[in-house]
A and B are shown apart, each in its own frame.
Chain A
């Protein structure tokens, strides 16, 4: 899955959660979209299942926005 598809998947997953905000890729997951940590972990688990890769929880130390998450996950897929 390329980076754009990963970003689309993340946005649609967040939109299916009960957030009050429309999802802007530059939005901060916690500050702007109001996601709880457990919701973010759940999202990562979904991405693992869909992409067939292991996503270490520690990537969240480098993630603030929706785009950041897509970039980190894409990096882990190893696609060039």
Chain B
């Protein structure tokens, strides 16, 4: 996988650059740094296939380490750093992570995990080593997915999984200056690998930096989740971001959640070539999206390597991009993967031109405007840790998470119990990523509405 990237970078006569946090590196230096990271990880432990946890904010060195770990014949386990210590520790155990590598200055934060922790500068050898080609069916990365519901699950992805799109993408347009603000630990963020394979320059950005980075004025291709577009339009409408800064922008790739009609219309009215990518971590991303003429409301044309059908309205896919199964989670794998067909949990249809249209979710997953999947059951489980909570239901309300709570009848008054619940929710929220926080709740002694079969009713 990395050998292929290096081959494509060297083949391309263009001097491709990778930028991050205001600095720029040329492709020769990028390759050299990957070889140095490769050199470190090849000798860190005996043998190959070690699970190396990568936990840091988006940066040039994140990408170098990811590529270097894979190039060394080991497996990168990509973590969302914005989680509680308890959740992270659980995931390191679930994924058999053996060592963590993190930003400079962050090692102390992970000292309680019982794992060796290295910072980026320590995980680079003085001596670069040749990048090895990974065998097709070798796992190269483990990403985490909430999938069709429930807790995060480790998704092992092979070289073959990444090659499915990687082998065809160089035929697409290249020469772009791509801005990638999406988290690299997420499959959407890792699409930047394909942009480099295609011969695009890359700026690695973040939710924090992207509006500053776009003011460079030379970005031609931008990856977004729909929530970011509201922020962009607000800045344009208020005049804090000038339209001139976006004159170079020709292509926007939206993923993670559905665009609203207003967002779609506004981008198209700006003369921007819009692409909507659709896929899951379990399908190495791209089921549909890149290339082809944009059709309003669609998630793009189905990729040539994917078979798509629907079963009771649910989108089911098969192809070399589909995972072989969750890591050491047989029951969860059997629930979604049947005879190599991946049941996506999304409802939709295809048209006669091979375009895909998503109409909703089958399972109880809330998709936020920033593309994040939130499992209401997972949050409810955390709420149930409060002894005063008898029943609870987490739901989405105008892009935010709210909760309805039925309290037990204890010795405290109603008001005292409501204050206790408020304190509990405030404390719980501090352990959650910003976007997963419960921003409002109603607590009473009224039982929550149920379905005919006695299950909690959800909209």
Nearest A residue to B427 via CB reads A64
- Interface 9-mer from B203-211, B295-303, B307-315: B203-211
Instruction: Tell me which residues across on chain A come within 8 A of B234, comparing CB atoms.
Output: 18
Q: With A and B bound together, what is the CA distance between A49 and B213 in angstroms?
A: 12
Q: With A and B bound together, what is the CA distance between A42 and B82 in angstroms?
A: 17
Q: Lowest 8 CB-CB distances: which A-B pairs, in order?
A: A37-B434, A41-B208, A41-B207, A45-B208, A37-B435, A38-B231, A44-B208, A60-B434
Residues 393-439 (chain B) with a chain A CB within 8 angstroms: 399, 426, 429-431, 433-435, 437, 439
**Is A57 in contact with B103, judged by CB distance below 8 angstroms?**
no
**Is B439 in contact with A42, judged by CB distance below 8 angstroms?**
no
Given the interface pairs A38-B207, A58-B81, A60-B434, the reply to whether A31 lies near B228 with Cβ below 8 Å is no
A12 is an interface residue with CB less than 8 A from chain B: no
* Nearest Cβ on chain A to B113's Cβ, whole angstroms: 15
Q: State the A residues within 8 Å of B (CB).
A: 18, 28, 30-31, 36-42, 44-45, 48-49, 55-58, 60-62, 64
Instruction: Tell me which residues across on chain A come within 8 A of B109, comparing CB atoms.
Output: 58
Nearest A residue to B235 via CB reads A42
Nearest A residue to B429 via CB reads A64
Instruction: Tell me which residues across on chain A come within 8 A of B426, comparing CB atoms.
Output: 28, 31, 64
Partner of B106, one of A31, A42, A48, A56: A56
* Nearest Cβ on chain A to B251's Cβ, whole angstroms: 21
Besides A40-B434, A41-B207, 18 more A-B contacts (Cβ < 8 Å) are: A30-B439, A37-B207, A37-B370, A37-B435, A38-B228, A39-B231, A42-B211, A49-B212, A57-B81, A57-B82, A58-B57, A58-B82, A58-B109, A61-B84, A62-B430, A64-B426, A64-B429, A64-B430
Partner of B231, one of A28, A42, A60: A42
Query: Number of B interface residues, CB 8 Å?
Result: 29
**Is B82 in contact with A45, judged by CB distance below 8 angstroms?**
no
* Nearest Cβ on chain B to A36's Cβ, whole angstroms: 7
Given the interface pairs A18-B234, A62-B430, A64-B429, the reply to whether A57 lies near B370 with Cβ below 8 Å is no
**Is B228 in contact with A45, judged by CB distance below 8 angstroms?**
no
Q: With A and B bound together, what is the CA distance between A40 and B28 in angstroms?
A: 36
Instruction: Tell me which residues across on chain A come within 8 A of B209, comparing CB atoms.
Output: 45
* Nearest Cβ on chain B to A20's Cβ, whole angstroms: 13
Instruction: Tell me which residues across on chain A come within 8 A of B439, comparing CB atoms.
Output: 30-31
Q: What mask results when residues 34 to 73 of chain B are scored 1 for a CB within 8 Å of chain A, else 0?
A: 0000000000000000000000010000000000000000
* Nearest Cβ on chain A to B112's Cβ, whole angstroms: 15
Q: With A and B bound together, what is the CA distance between A53 and B325 in angstroms?
A: 43
Nearest A residue to B227 via CB reads A38
* Nearest Cβ on chain B to A10's Cβ, whole angstroms: 15
* Nearest Cβ on chain B to A6's Cβ, whole angstroms: 17
Q: With A and B bound together, what is the CA distance between A53 and B228 in angstroms?
A: 24
* Nearest Cβ on chain B to A37's Cβ, whole angstroms: 4
* Nearest Cβ on chain A to B365's Cβ, whole angstroms: 18
Residues 201-238 (chain B) with a chain A CB within 8 angstroms: 206-209, 211-212, 227-228, 231, 234
